[in-house]
Amino acid sequence: MLALLTSLISAASASYAGYASMAPTPQLYGRTLTHGSDPTQLALTYDDGPNDPHTRRLLDVLAKHEAKATFFLIGKYVRQRPEIARAIQAAGHTIGNHTYTHPNLIFVSAARLQQELGDCRKALEDAIGAPAPLFRPPFGGRRPNVLRTVRQLGMEPIMWSVTGFDWSAKSSDAIVRKVVSQIDSRRRKQGEIVLLHDGGHLAFGADRGYTVEATRVLLEKYSSSGQSSPGKKFVAIPELTR
């Protein structure tokens, strides 16, 4: 009976550990930023770029609303198209490290982890000439050693509080509905960090037209000049009030 109980408990804790290593909010493996404290702020974040042509289209949409966002770039795509990374930076947005080839870091060796983080960091520094101190783990996957290494390299891990599910969305409306329902269900008590994608980790050139259009709708809905009141200010992660 005791053996059965023990195995039940360890099965339960193992499944919690599995959940905590992938889900964006549990803090079992150390604190990571998931949201801000000011409900009038909204931090749009875009992963898996740079991408062509969707990253530049997104920059145009963001510029129309004078919104700032954060882009977590994949190092190998930055090597391929460094000028897009420079365009993101020139537009005043924040760039973060999203590894070099986008593996799930839960399953990589310590040496590979160092290499993924370091190679992306170098690609970013070569492209934009500045350090990128923010990091987002691919698939949200993290473990104590991952977070420790990230911090040792001088980077802060950034998660999210609202998921756009844009990687599988069938329309821009579907993305907007997901995002709006999560923001409104939280009754605006925190500064949300929204997870979206301007690229795809499987291949360069992924179609992110729905995400670009959903971004346009969200900017109109939540900006101060829109119908939703009070309006929100779209900020990059460094400007998010902790």
Give residues in contact with Zn ion (CB under 5 A): 47-48, 138, 201
Whether 93 sits among the annotated catalytic residues: the reply is no
Q: Determine which one of 65, 93, 102, 197 is catalytic.
A: 197
Q: How far is the CB of 173 from Zn ion (least distance, A)?
A: 23
34, 193 Cβ separation under 8 angstroms: yes
CA dist., res. 242 & res. 195, Å (int): 18
Residue 136 or 232: the one with the smaller Cβ distance to Zn ion is 136
Residue 167 or 222: the one with the smaller Cβ distance to Zn ion is 167
Q: Determine which one of 35, 47, 48, 65 is catalytic.
A: 47
Q: Could you tell me the two tokens for 51?
A: 């991408």
Q: How far is the CB of 167 from Zn ion (least distance, A)?
A: 9
Whether 65 sits among the annotated catalytic residues: the reply is no
Q: How far is the CB of 195 from Zn ion (least distance, A)?
A: 9
Residue 68 or 201: the one with the smaller Cβ distance to Zn ion is 201
Q: How far is the CB of 94 from Zn ion (least distance, A)?
A: 16
CA dist., res. 75 & res. 199, Å (int): 12
Residue 103 or 133: the one with the smaller Cβ distance to Zn ion is 103
Q: Roughly how many angstroms between the first and final C-alpha of the chain, as a whole number?
A: 48
DSSP state of 196: E
Measured in degrees and rounded to the nearest 5, phi and psi for residue 224 equal -65, -25
Q: How many residues does the chain have?
A: 242
Q: Which residue has the tokens 């993290």?
A: 142
Task: Name the residue whose CB lies closest to Zn ion.
Answer: 47
Q: Tell me how crowded residue 22 is: count the other CB atoms within 10 A of its CB.
A: 14
38, 148 Cβ separation under 8 angstroms: no
Mind telling me the catalytic residues? 47, 197
